[in-house]
Amino acid sequence: MHHLPLNQNISGWLSQHPQPPIFPALTATIDADWVVIGAGYAGLAFARRLAQLKPAWKIAVLEAGTAYDSASGRNSGFIIGLPHNIGSSTAELKQAHAYRQLLQAGMQRLKGLVDEHRIECGWEAAGKYHCQVAAGQEKILRHYCASLEQMAEDYQLLDSDALQEKLGTRFYHKAIFTPDTVLVNPALLIAGLAATLPENVSLWYHSPALAIDYHQGVTVYTATGAVRAPKAMLATNALSGHLLPGLRRQAAMATFASLTPPLTDRQLARLPKMASWGLTPVNAIAGATLRFTEDRRFLIRQHVIPALRGTVSARQTQRAARLHHQLFRKVYPQLEEVTFSHCWSGTISVTRNGAPQWGKINNALYTAGGCNGAGISKQTIAGELLADYAVGQDNPLLAEMQALGKANWLPPSPVLDIAINGALQKERWLGKKER
């Protein structure tokens, strides 16, 4: 494998918490019935479900770093039960219903695991605000309201005065609040899922897959060991193409987040009495995702760049941190002395047509990738359903998963680089009033 995930920054999600359990690196050649590459939400869900269906099988999971410091532990901690964007055509609404069923199934599955294993991850059914900064953009929110009504979903339309009471700022012009979102500490959640795998699953940290030999099943090579198995599951999202050249249907995009220290009592006094909350922007590229956490911290996620080789530099992180400081002063001028204790990056996998890359690649290889956002709930159910599909286990949600379609082919670099940068520039221009 030519490229490995690398973030030259440190996530702040664990700064107030003890170190999660560490698993050893693979240092030998072992045999297994399946090998899973990647200990994110899809990889762990696949391994867990496969282990439950086939308790006599041995499943090996390889992770390049640790589960909690991978992209799965670096996101903003939204477990979303509704699609972000819903089209108006019959086909788009049908697909939105399929997405909703899948997202809610993923959320319910995670809730069951959190309760069963008593995973302390700050699980809170807080809902979500979908916010618009600039006046004159009501068309986007009206369209979303109409779509929610067609899907019989509850929502509230809030104006600036109501948002000031809920969010402590008049930065936002209007918002739609939907109740079907859970907020968590994602690093604690994925660490808890990794620590509670069935006994027939072995998890190996700091064991990146460097190459796969497809002779007589698969042999996956790491720096200090190897796994031989009849079949493998790729849970490496946009970097999967480096393990199987030609698997070019996903691209990696990096997003950046910054987190403040816990606010002091004096700083809190400048805000209305607020419960913890999360908001998403109407323009996901130009706008910012914000959270006020249960431990009195603000999180901002803004700034999206291509990360086609999986690497984010310290210089790129520094630029994102400056943008976050500027935005925070606009949103909360009464907290101008508040700084960020951490700024970090994480990657998401995007596809050209919004469909996932999911299913059987060849006789020995399966994959679940192309999350396109909403990755916690979506990738959890995608991984679990892939295990059912791989062993022929009937599940009514398989039809919903397959109804999402297949990801379109992407061109190679430099054509892909030019196309992605052009698309990002267009979205930033269209959403310039939302910054």
Encode pLDDT of 307-319 as tens digits: 878 889 999 999 9
Encode pLDDT of 55-85 as tens digits: 999 999 999 999 999 999 999 999 999 876 6
Identify the band that residue 220 occupies on the pLDDT scale cut at 50, 70 and 90. very high
Domain that holds residue 129: 6-434
Distance of CA 164 to the CA centre of its chain: 28
Residue 1 covered by a domain: no
> Which of 151, 157, 147 lies closest to 178, judged by CA?
157
Encode pLDDT of 402-416 as tens digits: 999 999 998 887 788
pLDDT mean over 308-332? 93
**Cα–Cα dist 159/131, whole Å:** 10
Residue 293 covered by a domain: yes
Q: Encoding tokens for residue 38?
A: 């990647």
Residue 297 covered by a domain: yes
How far the first Cα of the chain sits from its last, in Å, is 38
- Local structure of 68: helix, strand or coil: helix
Residues 6 or more apart in contact with residue 266 via CB below 8 angstroms: none
Residue 423 covered by a domain: yes
Residue 305 covered by a domain: yes
Q: Per the structure, how many domains does the chain have?
A: 1
156-159 vs 174-178, strand pairing mode: antiparallel
Residue 152 covered by a domain: yes
Longest dimension (CA), the chain: 66
The CATH number for 42's domain is: 3.50.50.60
What is the model's pTM?
A: 0.94
Partnered with residue 358 across adjacent β-strands are 368
Partnered with residue 291 across adjacent β-strands are 278, 299
277-281 vs 289-292, strand pairing mode: antiparallel
